Amino acid sequence: MTNEIIRSNRLELLKNEVFGALDVTDATRNEYRVRITHFIRYAETHGINRNSYLDYKRYLASIDTFSVSTKNKYLIAAKIFLGGLHRLNLIPQKITDHVRGFTQSRLHRKEGLQDADIGKLQRYCSDLPPTPQNLRLRALVALFLFQGLRQIEVVRLDVGDIDLRNKTALIRGKGRDDKEPIHLHPSTVRVLREYLNWYRFRSGALFRSDSNHCRGERLTTKSVREIIKRVFAKLEIDGSTHGFRHFFITKLIKSYKGELLMVSKYSRHRSIQMLEVYNDEIIREQDLPRFYEVFKEIRI
């Protein structure tokens, strides 16, 4: 196998052939097209052979500036692209088998917001004047805090998905094509009503950009992260937007005394396996005083 196909002027066409045939959303397809450029640059230098996929994984592993999540995204794009080239008979064999992705224990990731962080945020939001930007911020925070929504679920929301009278919303989750109903917390309903009363949106995206270059367009996950990041920096909160979901799930598990099946109804996990990770961490944290007590008489 050679690197000729990567260097040919058919590159863009091949990308379209491979990713255009996938049964995924347009956003996912575009992300693959962007990320595959990284592998192509690698292949232009190293060529393509039976070990290229494994070698590319090792190359990604050596990049300290990439998180494990980012490395996996590049690796997945390369796997799909190489699989597509094989399907098109442009490389003679499938070279991605038996190569695993990068792994990371979620127990080692400190992402969750703490009660003190939520207290700061609550006081901050309560004191905000009712400007359009502040109403949008409070609506975003309500959906993250009281509903535990993922970022992608929030930006996908349309005005028509919100039913304030019945206190429900239709959510299109990660990797899903259909929408599922959720019950809205009364605090979420109140904040969303204030937000919609101001903006008077009748249809289309629930959250829209107010930037000069893309005013009125659907807010992106990147924009949402930047909005939350600025607030966290101002309040000196060490956390991320995903920290809301971590806080939401942890709070539910503690309140529901480990009834993970019931918690999954609100967290919308497809299985309780991930919730078991949260639960194990909660149990470990609650047991720490007993652990400390064992060694209390020892001094060094």
Picking from 254, 280, 275, 255, the residue whose alpha carbon sits closest to that of residue 264 is 275
Start-end of CATH 1.10.443.10 domains in the chain: 115-256
pLDDT, tens digit, for every residue of 29-73?
888 888 898 998 888 888 888 899 999 999 999 988 777 878 888
Start-end of CATH 1.10.150 domains in the chain: 4-104
Residues 95 and 55: their CA atoms lie apart, in Å, by 11
In words, the CATH class of domain 4-104 is mainly alpha
First CA to last CA distance, the chain: 62
The reported pTM is: 0.66
Mean of the per-residue pLDDT values for the chain?
Answer: 88
Q: Classify domain 115-256 at the CATH topology level.
A: hpI Integrase; Chain A (1.10.443)
Residues 212 and 97: their CA atoms lie apart, in Å, by 47
pLDDT, tens digit, for every residue of 220-265?
999 999 999 999 999 999 999 999 999 999 999 999 988 888 999 9
pLDDT, tens digit, for every residue of 93-139?
889 988 888 876 554 445 689 999 999 999 999 999 999 999 999 99
